[in-house]
Amino acid sequence: MRFRAGLALCGALLTAGCAVPYSPAPVATNFPSTQQAKLQAAAHWGVIARHMATQLSPSLKVNARRPLYVSSQQSSAFAQGVSAHLVTALVNDGYIVVKVPDANTLRIELDTQVVAFSAKRPQYKFAGERTALVAGAWVLTGIDHTIEWLATAAIAGQDAYSWFRSQFATGETPKTEIIVNLSLADESRYYARATSVYYTTDSDRTLYDAAFSPSKTFAVRNQ
């Protein structure tokens, strides 16, 4: 009885210790898990352009008679590539895209911002790894077949497991991210706007940020 009473008292103390009614500053918590695509090839730039053009589609259809002009506020390789993909997507969809804007032109403006966070941010992306392996082993050992059949099934199971894991980018969480804004506007107002955020490979930052130049090391020789 005394042992149970002691356990109950410890539990109550622990519970009371966890419940802090007042704090001098907000308590830091994590957001619910989300997924964010990682840009790793120029082909991904085309995917971004087509996706954002689709987001603007309702407003584009309402103003289908007005010509469009695509421009970018940045001169990075990424901004120029996405702008080119946008022109291609719009022309292929039947819109009038002009090279020189006039007073009646609607502008599709691309604006990007590259941000860098601290390195080595944690990423818990394989929470179900052990469970998947145990489940696969249970399925294979629970069926009585030949050794050859088990070997084939094991390979298929590993392929399936790799397929499910392939959605996650390899390596550590990138510290570099890019905010991409696409606006449909004229001189006086915005008609539509789409914003997306992506990870980028840290070593490729110069492709996304024209103002960024990595530091260079120069060797000094004595004459």
Looking up tokens 């706007």 gives 193
Report d(CA 210, CA 217) in Å as an integer: 20
Average pLDDT, the chain: 78
- 186, 106 contact by CB (below 8 A): yes
| pLDDT of res. 100 | 95
- 181, 112 contact by CB (below 8 A): yes
Predicted confidence band of residue 130 (pLDDT cuts 50, 70, 90): very low
| pLDDT of res. 216 | 46
Report d(CA 124, CA 138) in Å as an integer: 25
Predicted confidence band of residue 214 (pLDDT cuts 50, 70, 90): low
The residue with greater pLDDT, 8 or 212, is 212
- State mean pLDDT over 120-139: 54
Cβ-proximal residues to 90 (8 Å cutoff; 6+ apart), any chain: 53, 60, 68, 70, 97, 108
- 140, 157 contact by CB (below 8 A): yes
- Give the model confidence (pLDDT) of 6-20 as tens digits: 555 555 555 545 557
- Domain-by-domain residue ranges, the chain? 38-119+170-208, 126-167
For the domain made up of 38-119+170-208, give the CATH fold: Rossmann fold (3.40.50)
